[in-house]
Amino acid sequence: MSEGRIAVVGSGIAGLGAAWLLSRRYEVSLFEAADYLGGHTHTHDIQLDGQRYAVDSGFIVFNPQHYPLLTRMFAELDVAAQPTTMSFSVHDARSGLEYNAGSLGGLFCQRSNLLSPRFWGMLADLRRFYRQAPAVLHSEERFSTLGAYLQRHGYSDAFRDQHLVPMASA
């Protein structure tokens, strides 16, 4: 027996997760503007050599450390998962810069990066940012915008444009 009715707007993972949890106690109506459920994930049925494969074009990877609630929901729903590795590469069409963060060879896949003060400055900022970031989460600076934080601490445009923006977009 439900305790009432509730509406959930949007069928991305947050909306679907909320609807699923709320459905234990409420009659849930799910509203979605798109013609399919799943938000930025979209399952396509592909036929290959007589076999049908369901391929998701949006959702790529999750892990328990960064997605504990999603991991728990998948386990409860008995959703199969498999281990994977991740890498991060950047190709900046405007500047032509390319690098891969997985190895020293990848960082300097463009040998010109070895002699680039801009690239070395970006790497120094990258190291500094990731060392300082955990402390920021427990300071008053956590209320600052990212742009203001970067400017206040003298981070380079190269770090912002050629690492942080691509990383946040990945």
The pLDDT value recorded for residue 58 is 72
> Is 170's pLDDT higher than 90?
no
Q: What is the pTM of this model?
A: 0.62
Of all residues in the chain, what percent are helix, strand and coil, respectively (each to 5)? 40, 15, 40
> Is 133's pLDDT higher than 80?
yes
> What is the residue extent of each domain of the chain?
5-76, 89-169
In percent, the amount of the chain with pLDDT more than 90 equals 62
Query: Checking DSSP bridges between strand 27-31 and strand 43-48, what pairing results, if any?
Result: unpaired
Which tens digit of pLDDT belongs to each residue from 79-132? 898 888 878 899 999 999 999 988 999 999 999 999 999 999 999 999 999 999
Q: Are 99 and 122 in contact (CB under 8 A)?
A: no
Q: Looking up tokens 């947050």, which residue turns up?
A: 14
Model confidence at 62, pLDDT cuts 50, 70, 90, reads confident
- Closest by Cα among 132, 130, 121 to 155: 121
Model confidence at 9, pLDDT cuts 50, 70, 90, reads very high
- Region of poorest pLDDT, from 4-13, 14-23, 42-51: 42-51
The pLDDT value recorded for residue 128 is 97
- Give, in degrees to the nearest 5, the angle at Cα 79 between 2 and 170: 105
